[in-house]
Amino acid sequence: MQNILYARFSNPIFEPIWNRTYVRNIQITMAENIGVQDRGKFYDETGAIRDVVQNHMLQLLANLTMDPPTGEDHEATRDQKASLLKAVRPLDPKDVVRGQYVGYHSVPGVKPGSTVETFVALRLEIDTWRWAGVPIYIRAGKELPVTATEIIVEFKRPPLEVFGEIVPSASGHLRFRISPDISIGLGLRVKLPGERMVGNDVELILTEQAEEDMPPYQRFLGDAFKGNNELFAREDFVDAQWRVVEPILDNVTPLYRYASPAWGPEEAERLIGSDGPWISPKVPTNAKLKSRAV
């Protein structure tokens, strides 16, 4: 997650285009290719919205869209995150799709006929001058095709295609992969060999192996001993997160079934509509394909 902040604020090429003028939409995906496993009772009292959206996904969103910190102390960063979350519009039920994978009811601890979601897709908006009008799509779920957490920032195409090509509107992006590997990808369009002025989409990728990093709980405990609270959620930040999801808690939206492996129910594609399609993560063959429940 810290790679997001560092890449944004240490590279001067990003800040001028990190706004509603140049960004078409933002997609954040947290996918797991495993089910609930032995956490049936806990998960049936929680669901995907409470389990990962209210906390993890909104934290990622804050890192991605917050304004630069106005100071070097740790509170300066947390101030900007809290300010950003307070500007996120509370979710409208019509902007939410909940799903449940086939076979969930057979998990020990799950109540018969449970309507708890194992998948959620939603559309958010941020009421700030920087992000007003930019649709933000988040999805998270279990029993999906891969295990990966990824952010895609899609840039708008120029108002006129100089070379007369029919270019996809989503051609050009910045991709942050959080797990299972750590990578940053920049989507570009390059000319194909030959005389014709036609091109193709490619991605420049910088990859770092997550195994080289300090284990997360070791990092958290070390920061706690040092009194560094930057990675810990402040009370006003947590309140703002709950304010965003409160209108959609307690099964207020329909539940759709999906079979594994699939990217959730078909209704998720209808949610993103003309802003789509969803850009699904692809896991490299040398990365870990299974996550571990903790």
Residues assigned a catalytic role: 56
C-beta separation of 107 from 246 below 8 A: no
Spatial neighbors of 288 by CB under 8 A, at least 6 apart, are 147, 180
Residue 55 has φ and ψ, to the nearest 5°, of -110, -70
C-beta separation of 97 from 268 below 8 A: yes
Torsion-angle region of residue 125: left (phi > 0), alpha (psi -120 to 50) or beta?
beta
Q: Where are the alpha helices (DSSP H) in the chain?
A: 2-10, 40-44, 47-48, 58-65, 74-86, 216-226, 235-245, 267-272
d(C-alpha 42, C-alpha 264), whole Å: 21
Nearest to 118 by CA among 92, 137, 140, 96: 140
H-helix or E-strand spanning residue 190? strand 182-191
**Distances, alpha carbon 136 to alpha carbons 12, 57, 68, 93, 116, in Å:** 23, 12, 20, 15, 24
